Structure 1
Amino acid sequence: MQSELESQIVKQLRPVFTPEDVRQFVYCPRIIYFRYVLKCRPGPSVKMRKGAEKHEDWRNRQIRQGKNMDRYFSIYLEDRSVGLKGLLDAVDYDGETARPVEMKTGRAPEGGIFENHRAQVVAECLLVEYALGADSDMGILVYEDADLEIKVDLNNPQRSWVHTLLQKMRELVITEYLPRPTRNERKCTDCEFWAYCQRT
């Protein structure tokens, strides 16, 4: 049985991921291997730089439209007990309930939500709950190009799913296991880790 000190040391040493890492793990688990095991840090791609510009434009538009009364932008949160940290696009907070708002610049899927986007928003909800001690019943996913907002409910199955993903991510990093590449080769086309991976 671990002593209290050993338990605290283990908590301090275990990897702390971002909700964006959770999204990437669902998209292609190898990305976590390259980020956290090999410590690869490729520079931002053209697509990433354009995305950052669109995020800034979106935030400024939201503020001009007066949506910053209960919406707080660019919020950094961290909680080691859940193993999450990150800079959130925005959080709607009324003093009791907190709902993360995640803006996406790409296309919206037909009649649904991409699973990796769902994973990210649920991870953001968990981070908000743990770090702020606030209730979070849902997150909001904004597909800016499609002018579409989708509410992502936070329920027990979603919580369990993301906790399981976080555990698998920790195991991958601790064991230094290189997972198989994504089955969908089209995802590799503009991947910033292609030079390290090449599906080998």
Structure 2
Amino acid sequence: MDYLIVLATVGGVLLIAYAHHLKKSAENSSTANIVYMDLSKFVVRKSGVGGLPSDVLFSRKLMLKGKPDRIVLEKGHYVPVELKSSKRPASPYPGHVMQLAAYCALIEEVTGRRVPHGYIQYADGEPFKILFDERLKTELINTLDEMRLALRTGNVRPTRNKRKCENCSMAYRCPTSRKRINT
């Protein structure tokens, strides 16, 4: 019977030590100060976060809307975190970088505060820290212009990824799609 008390005490001490370890890990990670989190079907938002709505972010300047997976507070800056379920590549995919850049721009316009960078977190490994500098802002604007031109003209570039092609909203305009409607 005494061994059960000793076992329970040791287990309790180990549990407390592990909880302390988890708390310290969270404090040191980029997710320690989550101020916004999109959980797909519902949004969790900590109260008192200045200027961040709990729904979709909208930019009148860019005519763009979106909902980042997370926004963390880092050294007084709101920083978007884009979560990806795929394995970590050697470098982030260009489309993922543009998506993150769009979230940076949205947060800047909604809050009126500069966003210095964002993170792309793949299923494994360390997150990529992406600087939101003038070069990336210009690339974002050029990409948005290119996308809008494709929408207006119907001149879309086909993808090599068949899974993306199957669910593409532009399939009716794509020369390689079976869903193409001749106009």
* TM-score where L is the length of structure 2: 0.62
- Asked whether 1:166 is paired with 2:133, we answer no
| Distance (Å, rounded) in 1 between the aligned partners of 2:85 and 2:106 | 22
Partner of 1:37: none
- Asked whether 1:141 is paired with 2:110, we answer no
1:189 Cα deviation after fit: 4.0
Aligned partner of 2:117: which letter?
Answer: M
Question: What aligned pairs does 1:87-126 form with structure 2 within 5 A after superposition?
Answer: 87-93=67-73, 96-110=76-90, 112-126=91-105
Q: Which has the higher contact order (CA 8 A, sep 6+)?
A: 1
1:171 Cα deviation after fit: 2.0
CA distance 1:69–1:154, change in 2 (3 Å): closer
Partner of 2:35: 71
- Structure 2 portions without partners, runs of 5+: 1-25, 39-53, 178-183
Q: Which has the larger radius of gyration?
A: 2
Question: What aligned pairs does 1:186-197 form with structure 2 within 5 A after superposition?
Answer: 187-189=161-163, 191-193=165-167, 196=172, 197=174
1:155 Cα deviation after fit: 1.0
1:68 Cα deviation after fit: 5.7
- Structure 1 portions without partners, runs of 5+: 1-64
Superposition CA RMSD, Å = 2.8
The count of residues paired between Structure 1 and Structure 2 equals 132
